[in-house]
Amino acid sequence: MRWDDFRTSSNVEDRRGIPGGAGGLGIGTIVVLGLLGWALGIDPRILISGAEMMSGGGGGYQQQQGKQGTPQDEMGRFASAILGNTEDVWSTVLPQQANRQYKPPKMVLFSGSTRSGCGAAQSAMGPFYCPVDQTVYIDLSFFQEMQRRFKAGGDFAYAYVIAHEVGHHVENQLDILPRVQARQQEVSATERNQLSVRVELMADCLAGVWARHSNERWNSLEQGDIEEAIAAAQAIGDDRLQQQGQGRVVPDSFTHGSSEQRVRWLTTGLKTGQVQACDTFRASKL
């Protein structure tokens, strides 16, 4: 992927190396809960946040301060450049296609643990978007984990991960996330999971929309890039993760979608470049 010429974002805060508040949970507990979540097909953030509240560490969010501006290391610059490119794309596409002005999210780079507006942020959770403070949180070591554990590496695969989280911010800008979160308070656990899958697949599709427009404007994609992203989407499907973790697949516990679904919605965004095509809530087939 050609990203060296992308504009870097000014909305990046680098907290790597800064001790992070992780409530009352020890790192051993965090790791166990993270592994348990992946094995059972449950979002690790749910388990960790719940355990943190039980331990009395869930309240009193205190903002941590890191370094502002473009990081100097390669992976930090890469993350900042991808975020900057999503800003450039969505500031044009969202007004054109959805009649909404785009207000970019922040991105926090951290190592190990930090605090977020949604509670503790832990490496075991993987990258995530917090709608409370409109921030993407990511420990860049996740990219090494993608390569080591999932055999899904490459710049565009990593960019897809960041663009997926930014896709959640786009959903928030479209008022989809608050409506879904309100609905999830009213339904069964199975229905909550189904709503989560629709949210995640839409974010996959929106990542594809970003990639389509980025390539059209900056000729950013190289041969093999799309295959990298597809391999990543396949590797982190709920069915693949559950089969690896527990030896069986439980569709009712899916929170992100199957490998086939994640690939199909990513490619839908890539092919169409249209936000409307990503409306998983009106789709007859996920």
Please report which confidence band the pLDDT of residue 275 belongs to, taking 50, 70 and 90 as the band edges.
very high
Q: In total, how many domains does the chain have? A: 1
In angstroms, the CA 228 to CA 152 distance is 7
**Residue-range definition of the domain harbouring residue 237:** 12-278
Residue 98 belongs to some domain of the structure: yes
- Enter the tokens of residue 247: 């030896």
Tens digits of residue pLDDT in 110-131: 999 999 999 988 898 899 999 9
Residue 285 belongs to some domain of the structure: no
Residue 204 belongs to some domain of the structure: yes
Residue 1 belongs to some domain of the structure: no
Residue 6 belongs to some domain of the structure: no
Asked if residue 27 has pLDDT above 70, the reply is no
Residue whose tokens read 């890191």:
66
pTM for this prediction? 0.84
Residue 212 belongs to some domain of the structure: yes
Residue 43 belongs to some domain of the structure: yes
Residue 5 belongs to some domain of the structure: no
